[in-house]
Amino acid sequence: MLNNIGIPGLLLIAVVVLVLFGRGKVSSLMGEVGKGITAFKKGVKEGGEEIEKASAAEARDVTPEAEKDKA
């Protein structure tokens, strides 16, 4: 369905949205979308760091103390 829209169709949709909602409303909406994307990226980054910390804690040295002195 979306394969046949093309550039003229997208321009027509953009003009209709601008006429219906006005420039200020569309601008504020796009600002909110940008904030949402930024928050999502931050959450993904923090989640990755949390997973790395958890895996680093699991990979701690478990060599017995007697064996550590021999090295």
Q: What is the reported pLDDT for 21?
A: 87
Q: What is the reported pLDDT for 22?
A: 87
Amino acid at 42: K
CB 26 within 8 A of CB 18: yes
Domain annotation covers residue 31: yes
Secondary structure class of 24 (helix, strand, coil): helix
Task: Give 5's contacts (C-beta < 8 A, 6+ positions apart).
Answer: 13
40 or 3: which leads in pLDDT: 40
Domain annotation covers residue 5: no
Domain span holding position 41: 23-58
pLDDT in tens, 12-71: 998 998 898 888 888 888 899 999 999 999 999 999 988 888 887 777 767 777 776 665
- Alpha-carbon gap, residue 36 to 28, rounded angstroms: 12
Domain count across the chain: 1
